[in-house]
Structure 1
Amino acid sequence: MDTTQDPRPLYRSALDQLEKLIAEAGPETLDRPTPCAEYDLRALLDHVVGGVHRFAYTGEGGLSLDVAAATGGVPDDGWPAALGRARARVTAAWAQDAKLDRPTSVPWGEVSGRDAVGGYVLETVVHAWDIARALDATDRLDERLGEAALAIALAVMPAEPRGGRVPFAPVQPAPAGADAYTRLAAHTGRAV
């Protein structure tokens, strides 16, 4: 990952995209399956919004593994507001430039704040694809974010081994000429 740049604007763009998708996820869609076999859309939204809170907690100085990445109790029509609260918290937690160079505890280890933000760009963009697939809305994904997240994934996620500290399924084949999101999904072990 390029650690000379500030990844927070990219993360804000990823959250913008996520916000638009979650606004489309009405109560009638929440039981739909997602590319994450263990999550229906409701459970995936819980995981994603909880992950934003977890990342906020690390920006506040906490250890990421001290908190569960789940929100619990969000009403079916409350996901946009839940993400809004999480977004406000994470934005405040990561507002200080000095935090980008501070050691930060995230689920995959201790890294610089800058690399932690990059990791959450990847997390947010991958799950945006998952949500978009469940909503049949992949045509509304920002290709620039897909390219950025793919670059991060290729730089920090080895193809092998998978499992343990690399909690992803084996890399899947992507069709020739696939867009960045499809290649990203395949690299993170999702069937495309």
Structure 2
Amino acid sequence: MTTDPRPLYARATAQAALLIKAVRPEQLTAPTPCAEFDVRALLGHVVGGTHGVASVGETGEERGDAAATPDVPDDGWARAYDEARERALKAWQNDERLASSVRVPWGEIPGRAALSGFLMEIVAHTWDLSEAVGRPLALDAELAEFALATAREALPGGPREGRPFDAPVPAPEGAGAYERLAAWLGRVPLSRA
């Protein structure tokens, strides 16, 4: 993949930030398409994961518990994500980090590929969160198309033993980019679950 993922990552995290700001306190215990997460746990995963993205950008590897779920008060998720997001965007500004190898949980790969994978993850989790809270915002289809191309390149089309995504499920006929991405990652909308 030769596209510089940084502008798309910035857009994806801005989109996620807007959606996180729209989450109401009573929605924090709602289920998400990620069976292991309710909304609060998904927000913790997103904030912690974004600190992990920053750690890789800063040092070339995820350090210690950089991606650990943070302890955030219920009214602090938007602020916590904004801080993590700004840290990650700053950490990946250096062209050298994008071109060099980095160590991520799934191996040693070029920085560009790692950031593309992180972009795929935040776009997927943005869809998860949107589904969980009633789709309050229109989502950027270009981000989902890029994330889907990344997912198809990085993840096998069959069983995914030991990977964080389930095997693909069929996308409904006429599905949009987010629905096709979700299906490739083994997710189904809550309305179909």
Partner deviation per Cα, 1:4-51 (whole Å, 9 max, x = no partner): 221100000100110010001121110100001110000000001110
Aligned 8 A contact 1:55 1:64 in 2: yes
Note the C-alpha offset of 1:115. 0.5
In 2, are the aligned partners of 1:65 and 1:107 still within 8 Å (CA)? no
The partner residue of 2:183 within 173, 182, 186 is 186
Deviation string, structure 1 residues 142-182 (Cα, Å, up to 9, x no partner): 11111111111111111123121x32212111111111111
Q: Which runs of 5+ in 2 are unaligned?
A: none
* Structure 1 stretch displaced more, 55-64 or 38-47: 55-64
Secondary structure class of the residue paired with 2:109: strand
Query: Is 1:71 aligned to residue 69 of structure 2?
Result: yes
RMSD after superposition? 1.4
Q: Write the distance in 2 (CA, Å) between the matches of 1:128 and 1:74.
A: 19
Q: How many residues align?
A: 189
Distance in 1 (CA, whole Å) between partners of 2:102 and 2:15 is: 25
Q: Secondary structure at the match of 1:98?
A: helix
Amino acid at match of 2:145: E
Q: Among 83, 86, 94, which residue is 1:88 paired with?
A: 86
How far residue 102 of structure 1 moved from its aligned partner, in angstroms, is 1.1
Cα deviations by residue, 1:34-93 (Å, 9 ceiling, x for unpaired):
001110000000001110000101111153263252332201010110011101211121
- Which residue type is aligned with residue 152 of structure 2? L
Q: Counterpart in 2 of 1:177?
A: 174
Structure 1 stretches lacking a partner, 5+ long: none
Match of 1:161 in 2: 159
Q: Helix, strand or coil for the counterpart of 1:57?
A: helix
- Runs ≥4 in structure 1, deviation > 4 angstroms? none
Task: Report the Cα distance in structure 2 between the residues aligned to 1:64 and 1:126, rounded to whole angstroms.
Answer: 21
